[in-house]
Chains A and B, each alone.
Chain A
Amino acid sequence: MDLKKLKIEAEKGVKKASNLKELDKIFKKYLGKKGEIARVFNSLKKLSKNEKKKKGKEANLAKIGIERIIKEKSKKLKEETRKLKLKKERIDVTRPGKKIEVGHLHPLTLVQREVEEIFESMGFSVIQGPEVETEWYNFDALNIPKDHPARDIWDTFWLKNQRLLLRTHTSPVQIHYMEKHHPPLRIIVPGRCFRHEATDASHGVQFYQLEGLMVDKNISVANFKAVIEEFLKRFYKAKVEIQLRPSYFPFTEPSFEIDVRKGKGKWVEMMGAGMVHPNVLKAAKINPKNWQGFAFGVGLDRLAMVRYKIEDIRLFYSGDLRFLKQF
């Protein structure tokens, strides 16, 4: 058969083919082992060398041409089929997602981690200490002598038959740490504390405090302000204003209370702080002539309450999953 005619015929066939099966038939008819092109090649044997070369070339071109159009058509048909199929496939994206069972960390854990991270980035090490303490560490070493009215500020749980108590603040860890480490030092101490007082929405018999202590040659009130402003700025993730008010703690001198406010909001009392009292340094066998520093204590419950707008401190210790699952 004439190759030209063959090609035109093939093209017509391909054009007509409406699915892959038909196209496959056409492929076999022209390009199959016993197809038209194969027949043309077979017929070449009888021809002279020159003619063989000429006709062979033509046949090859025809083969490539047909291959190409079949390939193109096949691609087109496949795409059409896929489109058709996709049209039928459908899901309801508004149906609820499948629940993955993951637990929840306690909000106090989350806040504590955040605070630790901020202070660690400023070079503070995180230290822990015992929850049951002696009077020496909880009071005397912190410049709160026996029979001093100031001791009444810390309502204390005592253990029966032992001169031991549940720590009323994390400050005893300052002493433990300074006894074993020489300045310069920079630590924070998160931990559980106890107060013998009636429970209400903002007070509990137990709470979490975070103590901070920095001791070096020349640490000043100005330094304290910078460190604590940086902390609050990063914790609140916003520009905050702080106000230092005079206060009284036996273990710091000068002492102050720190209030915080966001924008033009209300001042919120956030923490107590001050410059470490020389008697505290002495109690830990550090010479106050050579070293000075600041200390502060902030309620982690308070921070968590601010962060999540929680109004009742008792929720933290309720074990209520309806509360815990929100974090």
Chain B
Amino acid sequence: MLFSYNWLKDYLKGKTPTPQKLAEILTRHSFEVESVVKKGNDFVLDIDVLSNRAPDCLSHLGIAREIAAILNSELQSPDSKFKEDKKLKARNFVSIEVKNKADCPRYSAKVISGVRVKSAPGWIQERLRACGLQPINNIVDITNYVMLETGQPIHAFDLDKVGKKIVVRRARKGERIKALDDKTYNLDGDILVIADSKRPIAIAGIKGGERTGIDSKTKKIVVEAANFNQKVVRQGSKKLKLRTDASWRFENGLTPELVDLAQERVAFLIQKIAEGKVAQGLVDFYPKKILPKKINLDLNYVERLLGIKVSKNKVKNILQKLGFKVTETRPPQLKVEVPTRRLDISIQEDLIEEIGRIIGFQNIPSIFPQAALISPKKNEELFWQRNIKNILKEAGFSEVYNYSFMGDKEKGIFGRRKHNLIELANPMSSFNKYLRPSLISNLLRNIKDNLKYFDQIKLFELGKVFIKKQNLWERKMLTGILTREGIKDEGFYELKGIVDSLLAKLGIADVWYDDYRQTPEYSEAEIWHPQKSAEIKSNGEEIGFLGEIHPKVTEILDIKERVFVFDVSFEKLLKLASEEQVYQPISAYPAAIRDLAILVPQGTKVVEILNKMNIGGGKLVRDIDLFDVYSGEGIPQGKENFAFHIIYQARDRTLSSKEIDKVHQRITETLEENPAWEVRR
């Protein structure tokens, strides 16, 4: 809200700090001052009043009260003594009917007759303009002025246009009102209105109606100062998409007690400026008077919570300056009566905040807590997360953080198990209609974007995906992606090597790869290449997938290269990972290496050959390495040549070449049990 510096000064006794200084003080003790701008011979302060303080501080008096408390000076109340005309009785002019007191806890009307509508004096106009309001005429300007002064929204009706009865009720469906902004609003039962005997004359707490507005001919006015239910006003304002200075104040809550001061000030100013005669009495519907809350404040707790000792007198002084009444009971207790305007205060801690901020949080020293020496608990998940990220980084992969969403386009491509997608009720745009069910879609987008600048790309992400099972299923995945210019099948083996070494470093043994068998029902929307993808398994369980992305998918996404992906459940990795490691003694006896080449029909799996070799070799074979796969020239059609290094070693002796020959021979024989296989000599 915009505040006039000169106006604030009216309420402050003694010397007021410069506008800049004032802004600084308010920022430290009350609210952030966003700007200070010179306007004529005044300064305008834009103060960001916190929402919980709207009830008492969206007003010049409220801010002045803050300043007085911070500076420990006195607040000067504005004059509100006016004369009532005993011959005129307000209740003879107007009566009030409130249909539901929950919607409207208070409604007051003051009648002033014989007003002369003209322009307001310059000083009122200037102040309104400083606060961003347009002057209209003296009556309307005074109501606005008093709102900016006290925080209480006020409305003035032309009494001759209203008739004798004012009704506060919900609008009926189909009712309409033309408001002072010249727009017509369609009303319904969610909206509270002020009505005469027939029609709505104002939208309660939001905007006045055009028909009963003040004009140059107006002689008699009725001044409304009321209190409307904050939820009702909020709901109405949202529904009509109409936010006003009044609705803003009601939405955040106001005390019905504020009505009295506002009515007095309006009467005082109108009498002074527009020469009206104030009818005697206030027509007031106020069935349940609001009484101040009382809170016990424990001075020891003040010290314990702030960490600084504040004397009893200081506490009393701060609270009194802010308008609280303080009485001493049994030390260290104080009884504090809360002014009704302070809707934000209901417990001790709220009072302690008042004390803390007026002293200034910057004046509280920094003291390290005295707490038991408990070492932090190791977070296993985080530990492995850090490890995994480091391993992949060392392997040349860069980490990305993608959005947790997926749009319609990806839904088309990744729409497998469409019914498992989680949809947002209120997406921002078509790009984030769904929660991502997989990290792959966004990683593919990264590939496409980066291929413009890089000819080799290795990325990974570790993050949450969301799938609908019976309930929502939020789980963490680890996904890596690899491509480069002209990449072929070696991409698969490269990525497989990465997965192998990752799993090995996580202490996960017993890993194997099975052909990925897609279920026919999903094959239409499959993202994996049907012949070039595998299930990664460990400990009898599938932990993820590895393979090439279906060419159809890369085509739709306009990715020119082949793309390889591993997609692993982080949670399963976590379960299997182990820090335990046992040292394997190094054999003191030399190892011997023999090579073996074998000719097999194309399509034979290496794992089949290795299995046979291990069966034949027994425990003297320490390791077998595949070092070459070849087909083509010199190899018969339909055959493939695999070449292995076999490493022989015993724990307890040097193997003689005779011994090794024997085992090597056994391996050869075992392999050739398959008539289609031929060990080359």
Cβ-defined contact, A275 with B361, below 8 A: no
> Given A106-B399, A244-B362, A317-B403, are A158 and B234 neighbors across the interface (CB < 8 Å)?
no
Bound Cα distance from A196 to B427, whole angstroms: 8
Cβ-defined contact, B472 with A162, below 8 A: yes
> Given A123-B375, A278-B347, are A103 and B458 neighbors across the interface (CB < 8 Å)?
yes
> Given A103-B392, A113-B386, A292-B304, are A125 and B28 neighbors across the interface (CB < 8 Å)?
no
> Given A184-B374, A321-B454, A324-B398, are A245 and B349 neighbors across the interface (CB < 8 Å)?
no
Cβ-defined contact, A206 with B404, below 8 A: yes
Cβ-defined contact, B374 with A158, below 8 A: no
**A201 CB-CB contact with B under 8 Å:** no
Interface residues on A, range: 35 or more
> Given A104-B399, A149-B251, are A319 and B366 neighbors across the interface (CB < 8 Å)?
no
Name the CB-closest residue of B to A218: B304
Which listed residue, B369, B389, B398, touches A219 by the CB 8 Å rule?
A: B369
Q: Which of A75-83, A90-98, A221-229 contacts B (4 or more CB under 8 A)?
A: A221-229
Q: Which of B351-359, B537-545, B639-647 contacts A (4 or more CB under 8 A)?
A: B351-359
- Complex contacts, B230 vs chain A, CB 8 Å: 149
Bound Cα distance from A127 to B374, whole angstroms: 16
- Complex contacts, B51 vs chain A, CB 8 Å: 149-150, 153, 248
Cβ-defined contact, A275 with B349, below 8 A: yes
- Complex contacts, B390 vs chain A, CB 8 Å: 105
| B-side interface mostly | mixed
Cβ-defined contact, B382 with A128, below 8 A: yes
Shortest distance in angstroms between A241's beta carbon and chain B's nearest beta carbon?
10
**A3 CB-CB contact with B under 8 Å:** no
Mark A118-129 against chain B: 1 for CB-CB distance below 8 A, else 0. Answer: 001001111110
**B514 CB-CB contact with A under 8 Å:** no
**A169 CB-CB contact with B under 8 Å:** no
Shortest distance in angstroms between A245's beta carbon and chain B's nearest beta carbon?
6
Mark B89-114 against chain A: 1 for CB-CB distance below 8 A, else 0. Answer: 00000000000000000000000000
Cβ-defined contact, A246 with B357, below 8 A: yes
**A160 CB-CB contact with B under 8 Å:** yes
Bound Cα distance from A219 to B304, whole angstroms: 8
The tally of CB-CB contacts under 8 A between chains A and B is: 227
**A11 CB-CB contact with B under 8 Å:** no
Cβ-defined contact, A214 with B369, below 8 A: yes
- Complex contacts, B458 vs chain A, CB 8 Å: 103
- Complex contacts, B394 vs chain A, CB 8 Å: 102-103
Cβ-defined contact, B308 with A222, below 8 A: yes
Cβ-defined contact, A184 with B450, below 8 A: no
Cβ-defined contact, A160 with B382, below 8 A: no
Cβ-defined contact, B446 with A319, below 8 A: yes
**A296 CB-CB contact with B under 8 Å:** no
Cβ-defined contact, B347 with A221, below 8 A: no
Bound Cα distance from A113 to B382, whole angstroms: 10
Which listed residue, B231, B393, B405, B423, touches A159 by the CB 8 Å rule?
A: B423
**A277 CB-CB contact with B under 8 Å:** yes
**B381 CB-CB contact with A under 8 Å:** yes
| A-side interface mostly | mixed
**B459 CB-CB contact with A under 8 Å:** yes
Q: Which of B4-12, B29-37, B329-337, B601-609 contacts A (4 or more CB under 8 A)?
A: B29-37
Which listed residue, A219, A319, A325, touches B445 by the CB 8 Å rule?
A: A319
Name the CB-closest residue of A to B32: A245
Which listed residue, A157, A160, A226, touches B369 by the CB 8 Å rule?
A: A226
> Given A126-B376, A218-B304, A243-B362, are A157 and B424 neighbors across the interface (CB < 8 Å)?
yes
**A266 CB-CB contact with B under 8 Å:** no
Bound Cα distance from A65 to B428, whole angstroms: 97
Cβ-defined contact, B453 with A321, below 8 A: yes
- Complex contacts, B428 vs chain A, CB 8 Å: 196, 198-199, 205
Name the CB-closest residue of A to B27: A245
Which listed residue, B50, B459, B463, touches A246 by the CB 8 Å rule?
A: B50
Cβ-defined contact, A229 with B366, below 8 A: yes
Cβ-defined contact, B364 with A160, below 8 A: no
In B243-287, which residues have CB < 8 Å from any A CB? 251-252
**A247 CB-CB contact with B under 8 Å:** yes
Cβ-defined contact, A126 with B453, below 8 A: no
Mark B423-466 against chain A: 1 for CB-CB distance below 8 A, else 0. Answer: 11111100010010000001101100110011001111001101
**B400 CB-CB contact with A under 8 Å:** yes
**B531 CB-CB contact with A under 8 Å:** no
Mark A177-218 against chain B: 1 for CB-CB distance below 8 A, else 0. Answer: 000000010100000101010110000011000000010101
Bound Cα distance from A192 to B349, whole angstroms: 31
Cβ-defined contact, A103 with B393, below 8 A: yes
Which listed residue, B231, B426, B450, B460, touches A320 by the CB 8 Å rule?
A: B450
Cβ-defined contact, A158 with B352, below 8 A: no
Name the CB-closest residue of B to A325: B398
Which listed residue, A105, A149, A256, touches B361 by the CB 8 Å rule?
A: A256
> Given A105-B393, A220-B307, A317-B401, are A123 and B425 neighbors across the interface (CB < 8 Å)?
no
Mark B372-410 against chain A: 1 for CB-CB distance below 8 A, else 0. Answer: 111111010110001001101111111111111100000
**A108 CB-CB contact with B under 8 Å:** yes
Bound Cα distance from A206 to B431, whole angstroms: 13
Name the CB-closest residue of B to A113: B386
Shortest distance in angstroms between A19's beta carbon and chain B's nearest beta carbon?
41
Cβ-defined contact, A123 with B308, below 8 A: no
Bound Cα distance from A316 to B31, whole angstroms: 32
**B583 CB-CB contact with A under 8 Å:** no
**B556 CB-CB contact with A under 8 Å:** no
**A147 CB-CB contact with B under 8 Å:** yes
Bound Cα distance from A8 to B252, whole angstroms: 116
Cβ-defined contact, B472 with A246, below 8 A: no
Cβ-defined contact, A120 with B376, below 8 A: yes
Cβ-defined contact, B379 with A126, below 8 A: yes
Shortest distance in angstroms between A21's beta carbon and chain B's nearest beta carbon?
39
Mark B539-571 against chain A: 1 for CB-CB distance below 8 A, else 0. Answer: 000000000000000000000000000000000
Cβ-defined contact, B379 with A125, below 8 A: yes
Shortest distance in angstroms between B62's beta carbon and chain A's nearest beta carbon?
14
Which listed residue, A125, A130, A186, A196, touches B426 by the CB 8 Å rule?
A: A196
Bound Cα distance from A200 to B612, whole angstroms: 62
Bound Cα distance from A171 to B425, whole angstroms: 23
- Complex contacts, B626 vs chain A, CB 8 Å: none
Cβ-defined contact, B376 with A246, below 8 A: no
Known: A184-B371, A220-B369, A225-B367. 12 other contacts (CB 8 A): A131-B404, A149-B251, A157-B426, A159-B425, A160-B423, A184-B374, A194-B404, A219-B371, A245-B32, A248-B53, A292-B305, A320-B449
> What are 15 inter-chain pairs, A to B, with CB distance below 8 A?
A123-B376, A124-B376, A149-B234, A160-B424, A186-B371, A206-B403, A220-B306, A222-B308, A225-B366, A246-B357, A254-B356, A319-B401, A319-B450, A320-B449, A324-B399
Q: Top 9 A-B pairs ranked by shortest CB distance?
A: A222-B307, A220-B307, A254-B353, A244-B361, A319-B446, A226-B366, A223-B369, A158-B425, A225-B366
